[in-house]
Amino acid sequence: MFEKVCNWFREHGILLSNEEADYLKENTKEIIIPKNTIIMSQGKSVDRLFFLNEGIVRLYRLHNDIDSTIDFVSWNEFVSSVFYIVNRQPSPCALETLTEVKALYWDREEILTIMKEVKCAGKIENTLLEILLNWTQDREIDRMCLTPEERYLKLIKNHPSIVQQVPQKYIASFLGIHQDSLSRIRKKISRQN
């Protein structure tokens, strides 16, 4: 399972020395998390960073008793926020597994130690922040410029496994529409194909 995170580093231009890779591996834990498990609670401090090897996680926020799905995270991605972990800030959102998840994880103390001991830790953190900023910008542009149908088609194209495995109520919430509207969109798309 550790090889996938090493591949992620390489794909993002982060080259670990053998010593750094060994040190990181020694400080990495593996976990299998059951479906429907909250792995980060809204309003509570964040104490773990996950790297998903398999599975799907939902990022969501509860506000005025409304559950709003912000995004889905699937395999080969980091989940959580180094910023919230290091600064002991409460999370404005929650993370819930929608499938069984196989992941690597690091606790807060391990992250702080890695940041001191691994030379490229700053580059890793900057890369994660850059990905987060790009995601935020892309998400905002999509919400402003694309219709729910266009966003659904983009979700199908970029993440077909999410459309196949995630309950429709969460996909509708992600699109900012009711389930009935999503059903109409799905019927329209199936008629066109």
Q: What is the pLDDT of residues 63-99, one digit of tens each?
A: 999 999 999 999 899 998 776 787 888 899 999 999 9
Torsion angle of C-alpha atoms 105, 107, 111, 112, degrees rounded to 10: 180
- Cα separation, 77 vs 79, whole angstroms: 6
| Cβ pair 77, 5 in contact under 8 A | no
The residue length of the chain stands at: 193
Nearest to 94 by CA among 82, 75, 107, 81: 81
Output the pTM of the full model: 0.89
Q: Which domains does the chain have, with CATH numbers?
A: 2-118 (2.60.120.10)
Summarize pLDDT for 18-58 with one digit per residue, the tens.
999 999 999 999 999 999 999 999 999 999 999 999 999 99
Backbone φ and ψ for 78, nearest 5 degrees, come out as -85, 150
